[in-house]
Structure 1
Amino acid sequence: MESNVEQNLSLVTALVTSVLGLNPSLPFVFCEQVFRLYQLQSAAMRRRRAREMMARGRRLRQYLRRRRAFLLSSIAAVFSLSSSTGRSVWVRKRSQTFWAAAEDFDEEEWKSQFRLSRSTFDYLAELIGPAITRRRTTYREPIEPRRRLAIALWWYAKSGEYRTIAAMFGVGIATVCLIIRQVTAAIVDRLYPRFVRLPSGKRLEETIGGFRERCYPQCAGALGATHIPICTPKEHKEEPSDYINMRGWHSIILQAVVDHNVCFTDVYAGWPGCSHNSTVLAGSDLLLRAEDSPVGSLFPWEKSIMIDGVEVPVHLIGDASYPLKPWLMKGYSQHQLSPEQRRFTHTLTSARSVVDAAFTRLKGRWQCLQKKNDINHTMMARVVTACCVLHNICEMQGDSFFPEWNILVSPPGNSFRQPDVTAYDGGTYGNSELIRDSISDNLLSLLQY
């Protein structure tokens, strides 16, 4: 063995000296190092070649798998196009007895089920149809937009269980929950800016004239609040006790501005039920728009009226729970009132009755606002906003409100009684008292202006 190694070393020495032109009498140690280097380089080349062969085989196997998958998918596509049989394994067949019968309902039956006329339903379907339409896939046909809208409207109107609605419309229980969220988002995102906004231009003139017919001048809307029941919040970041109102049940607060036609012109929902109405107002965009306005009002200063040296702006009216501001008037609270002050307070309260009428119609038409629903309170705030938008659309479309719906707002033994109004105990702002006294003393003159 040693003779073979010496023979190889001698051969390497002779090869190196001949190739490099070196002296043949090199030391043996140098020749041994050259031989070892030659062995290492040869081993590295063999390993590199083995790795390249493995990579080439792996790429070949991947190519064959992709080609086989492509061929199989192509064959499946050809069979799916040429075959007329449906894939019953993908979708469970469900009965649509109610929805199939609903297409043949007369106008009265349709309205009793969905709380709006068929023409208004068609109008809504046209407005939000593109937002709730789902793409058709190879495996199943999507639920048509009209049925999606009908599912959401029936839940708003009846507030039934998901299982019941699923059986009526032939969909899954989870699908009902998903559709309600999708339709609610479409209504709030697409229709709220269009149908809920403070009056301006010609609408502002009509609103002021409408309240003048109610014997109150310079008014562009009435401000009020109501409590909507919710389930106990379960999020760790929320404190459930914050949502318990003075009546002892969990709720969120809906703050709204209502015009003379009992339509909402501003909606703000979601504050915990324990909050005072003035606190809700302080956190709303309504106050920010009024306070940050260059003229300190929600409406153009050109609409103001000068009376006895006092400029009376176009303003909102509220109850005793709100602060007195130049753009927000309320009645007198003290007991010893002059005849003019009593007349002013009575007139303001009478004009502000549009708020109670709007809330009554809202809850009577959409019964989901009268019970605790098994949805997150944040989502419930969006449901409330969507119902306000639908209320406005129904009023603008001339959909009549059935008298029997009023009975459902306060049924006998209803545990969700509204909390009593707590008066605001803060101070007044700016020249608000002077404006109120001027209106009180010159009420008849302002009505004839």
Structure 2
Amino acid sequence: MAEEQRQYRIRRPRNFRPRLDIFNVYNDSEFRKRYRLDQQGFLYVTELIREVIANRTERSHAVTPEMKVALTLRYFATGKMQLCNADDFGLSQPTISRAISQTVDALTAPHIITRFIDFPTNPMEIQRIQADFYRIAGFPGVVGAIDGTHVKIVAPHDYEEVYVNRKNVHSINVQVVFDANFILRDLVAQWPGSVHDSRILRESGLWDGFEQNQIPAGCYMLGDSGYPCKRWLLTPYLRPAEREYQEAFNRAHKKTRSVVERGIGQLKRRFHVLHDEIRVNPQKASKIIMACGILHNICKQRNIPLDDDENEEDVDDPNVEEVFQPVPGGPVADGALFRENVARNHFMMDD
């Protein structure tokens, strides 16, 4: 009887929904609004990872590399994975989830990261970046502005308590360094929200690069008072003495360092997934953050604008600074002396 049932069983045909042709449906402005890249930028990203995300078989209705990139960009732009399906992509939710994971993995391969997020070491590039920073407020030698920003995540199953930040929200504390043109020069997205900015820096390759003189002398980063003051990392005076050059130093420091706050704002407004709670485990969330950073730099390199005001500061992560507490006997005193030397030489007014 079972054999007879198998013989007469009629297989239901699969019902494939029509898929949206995004290149012909949207004009340039609508396309950029939905996917954050223009059409040429979209094709550039697709070609960058095509071989990795292409299906190995050519079965009917396989998800194309273009579709996988479109799904991922739409998710990054909205922060809502279900909107990918609502936009008539004609795919099931599990298929969408797999396509996004595959694309994110491809975008965060080590060779892609180092290609698009790279701290300057070439002397000519360093001089150009320093000149760009100098034009902001006359602060010499700056090659980057550093800060931490929190990206909210759903409470993880493992080590849940270490992801709770000082606002009692689960997050990943992301270290970012921007240059004067709002290009990301460093991005570390692997630390739980409870970890202090200064520890993230101390454990990063950036710290080793400066401490081991891989980055030339005379190059400074600017950070807030949550970081240690060092010969290569200048922080503001907490209590400026009655000396005009210290006040002038602080003014120039604040104006120049605002680049990182504005850069964070641009990054999070371009990819709203970074504003919302990312509902995946911390490891996947870290990859999503890194992928957004890479795509942000691609947009900058290709002059793809934001639709809103790029000068708006990061309202999601207000600047509530924690003062760095030096370890007794540490090198902070040397950094403070060096800062004083920079302030005297460059910000002291002639009598």
TM-score (norm 2): 0.88
Q: How do 1:350-361 residues align onto structure 2 when only pairs under 5 Å count?
A: 350-361=255-266
1:117 matched residue in structure 2: 38
Aligned-pair identity in percent equals 26
Q: Residues 357 and 404 from structure 1, CA distance in 2 versus in 1: closer, same or farther, beyond 3 angstroms?
A: closer
What pairs up with 1:42-441 in 2 under 5 angstroms? 91-96=14-19, 99-137=20-58, 139-162=59-82, 164-167=83-86, 168-189=88-109, 190-201=111-122, 202-214=124-136, 215-235=138-158, 238=159, 240-291=160-211, 293=212, 295=213, 298-301=214-217, 313-403=218-308, 410=315, 418=318, 420-426=320-326, 428-429=331-332, 431-441=334-344
Q: CA deviation at 1:277?
A: 1.0
Task: Work out whether residues 320 and 423 of structure 1, in 8 Å CA contact, stay in contact via their aligned partners in 2.
Answer: yes
- The structure where helix makes up a greater share of residues is 1
Q: Is the 8 A contact 1:149 1:183 kept in 2?
A: yes
Structure 2 residue matching 1:269: 3-state secondary structure = strand
Bigger-Rg structure (1/2): 1
Q: 2: distance between equivalents of 1:405 and 1:151?
A: 25
Amino acid aligned to 1:106: N
Greater Cα shift, 278-287 or 147-156 = 278-287
Instruction: Say whether the 8 Å CA contact 1:135–1:142 is kept in structure 2.
Output: no
Instruction: Give the Å deviation of 1:337.
Output: 4.2
Mapped contact 1:247–1:418 kept (Cα < 8 A): no
SS in 1 for 2:230: coil
Alpha-carbon separation, structure 1, partners of 2:312 and 2:140: 33
What SS is found at the alignment partner of 1:442?
Answer: helix
C-alpha contact (below 8 Å) 2:230/2:338 kept by paired residues: no
> Alpha-carbon deviation of 1:316?
1.0
CA gap 1:375/1:398 in 2 versus in 1, 3 angstroms = same
CA distance in 2, matches of 1:406, 1:347: 18
Check whether the contact 1:370–1:409 (CA below 8 A) recurs between aligned residues: no
Please report how far the alpha carbon of residue 420 of structure 1 lies from its aligned counterpart in structure 2 after TM superposition: 2.0
Counterpart amino acid of 1:353? S
Aligned-residue RMSD, C-alpha: 2.2
In structure 2, relative to structure 1, the CA distance for the partners of 1:224 and 1:105 (3 Å cut) is same
User: Contact 1:90–1:140 at 8 Å: present in 2 too?
Assistant: no
* Offset of residue 431 of structure 1: 3.0
CA distance in 2, matches of 1:117, 1:362: 16
Structure 2 alignment gaps of length 5 or more: 1-10
TM-score, length-scaled by structure 1: 0.69
- Residue 423 of structure 1: SS of its match in structure 2? coil
Contact between 1:247 and 1:417, CA under 8 Å: does it hold in 2? no
C-alpha distance in 1, partners of 2:312/2:253?
A: 27
Q: State how far apart, in whole Å, the 1-side matches of 2:331 and 2:113 are.
A: 33
The structural deviation recorded for 1:101 is 5.0
Alpha-carbon displacement from aligned partner over 1:138-197 (angstroms, at most 9, x marks no partner): x534211111100000000011233x4234211121111111111111111142111100
Matched residue of 2:231: which SS? coil
Q: Cα deviations across residues 23-67 of structure 1 (Å, max 9, x unaligned)?
A: xxxxxxxxxxxxxxxxxxxxxxxxxxxxxxxxxxxxxxxxxxxxx
Q: Is the 8 A contact 1:188 1:382 kept in 2?
A: yes
Secondary structure of residue in 2 paired with 1:223: strand
**Residues 285 and 249 of structure 1: is their aligned pair in 2 closer, same or farther, counting only changes over 3 Å?**
same
